[in-house]
Amino acid sequence: MTQPKIAVDLILKKLTESTEQVKSRAQKASEVLLSPLKTDLATTPYEVVLEIDRVRLKYYRPEKIKHKIPLLVVYALINRETMLDLQPGRSVVQTFLDHGIEVYMIDWGYPTRKDRFVTIDDHVNIYMDDCIDFIRNQHGLPKINLMGICMGGAFSVMYSSLHPEKIKNLVTTVTPTNFDTDTGLLHVWMKNTCALNMGDAYGNMPGDLMNLGFLLLNPARLMIDKYIGFFEHMDNKAFVENFVRMEKWIFDSPDVPAATFRQFIEDCYKKNLLIQSRMELGGRRVALEKITMPLLNIYGKYDHLVPPEACELLTRHVGSKDKEDICLNTGHIGIYVSSKCQELFAPKIAGWLKEREKKKTAEKKASAKKTTDRKTGGKAAPAKVVSEKKAGAKAATGKKKVASAKKTATRKSATEKTKTRSAAAKK
């Protein structure tokens, strides 16, 4: 029996090549990590136009304004609104500006201990209402467009129900409204959380504690696989910069006021009052049937924080006839930052808002025409009436001329007859 030959020389050759590749990548990774990196968030220029306590209202102006009605974006209290402007080339804000939309965005800021008693009612009926009134006054408009995200989407639903006279169109994205689902570990945890005890223990709900909970929802992917991926690509400068930006955003987590956290857990996660139109803010019932403005509801098919079951019931309970659900093949954050969704998400919203503006303009023209027809009894338009009057006057003038000509002819005939008689008499 012959011994199999081992290709030792081939194995050594492969090992040498692999070693050289590792050395080359390590050298390149070292150069990338030691070089200046561009990792700033929210680089699109904006102006702070209003400040109320810790809350700021940002204003983004497009180079050319193509939409008459501005858009207010309301982010969640958890994490920061900078997600919408995470990096150049993947910025929801910049895409809206490219479509000519004036964008306002609420920055909730960082609550301090004195904010522990601030409720959902305060966020919706004071902070949001003041921002919306400011924008309405600035633009001289009775209504503006409103877009809410996650918890900010739930706030936007509540606001649109309580103040429908101020909202033209409502857009909700990854917005939980139905909490009666066990899809996703977060819903299970929240239903078994004693928010009162946590408020007593911590005051405001610590952002770092919530971040730890989010990581534990999927530890294999969020705490192991993610960093293995980083080591595999750390010789790629663009990848490293994007990775660092996302890490900075994830761990930039403001606390949530204790009173707001407690009410959200008790009224929404445990009692599911919002989708049943039984939730109350400031003594007023949040009735979903009062949401009669057009509604666009977008959510992610693979969202592990706010699954489709938590989002898709909203359009069935509102009073609006113009409503649409869109489920994208993405997760909770990917809907805003993935390259594929950049082409679907913000352009879809911009187009949807534009269609409603055109539709409203067409309705106004049709209404004006009906009013005109009603005033004229369905007869000719005023301009035509004027023409007929002119024609009548012209015809009358013509008749007068004919009559005058006849009179002149009669006078000439009488004169000729008189002359003839005079000549005959002389003879």
Mean pLDDT, residues 67-90: 93
> How many Å from the N-terminal Cα to the C-terminal Cα in the chain?
170
| 8 A C-beta contact, residue 215 and residue 304 | no
Q: Which helix (H) or strand (E) holds 375?
A: helix 339-375
What DSSP character marks residue 87? B
What distance in Å separates the CA atoms of residue 394 and residue 231, rounded to the nearest whole number?
92
pTM over 0.85: no
Question: Does residue 389 surpass a pLDDT of 50?
Answer: no
User: What residues contact 172, with CB distance under 8 A and at least 6 apart?
Assistant: 147, 148, 153, 156, 157, 295, 296, 297, 298, 311, 314
Helix axes 237-250, 226-233, angle to 10 degrees: 150
**Domains along the chain?**
46-194+257-363 (3.40.50.1820)
* DSSP β-bridge partners for residue 51: 56
Q: Residue 37: exposed, middle, or buried by beta-carbon count in 10 A (0-12, 13-18, 19+)?
A: middle
Respond yes or no: is residue 150 known to be catalytic: yes
What distance in Å separates the CA atoms of residue 237 and residue 143, rounded to the nearest whole number?
45
> HEC states along 251-285?
CCCCCECHHHHHHHHHHHHHCCCCCCCCCEECCEE
DSSP characters over 222-241: IIIIHHHHHHHHTT-HHHHH
The CA radius of gyration of the chain, in Å to the nearest whole number, is: 36
Which pLDDT band, with edges at 50, 70 and 90, does 412 fall under? Answer: low
pLDDT of residue 391: 46
Per cent of the chain over pLDDT 90 is: 60
What distance in Å separates the CA atoms of residue 23 and residue 289, rounded to the nearest whole number?
65
User: What residues contact 99, with CB distance under 8 A and at least 6 apart?
Assistant: 62, 66, 67, 346, 347, 350, 351, 354
Give the angle subtended at the CA of 239 by the CAs of 305 and 342, to the nearest 5°: 55
pLDDT of residue 102: 98
Question: Does residue 346 surpass a pLDDT of 90?
Answer: yes
pLDDT in tens, 32-47: 999 999 999 999 999 9
Q: Give the β-pairing of 71-74 and 144-149.
A: parallel
Q: Which two tokens stand for residue 51?
A: 């400040």
* DSSP β-bridge partners for residue 3: none
Q: Which two tokens stand for residue 284?
A: 């007023």
Mean pLDDT, residues 113-139: 97
What distance in Å separates the CA atoms of residue 402 and residue 400, rounded to the nearest whole number?
5
Which pLDDT band, with edges at 50, 70 and 90, does 381 fall under? Answer: very low
Q: Which helix (H) or strand (E) holds 389?
A: helix 382-426
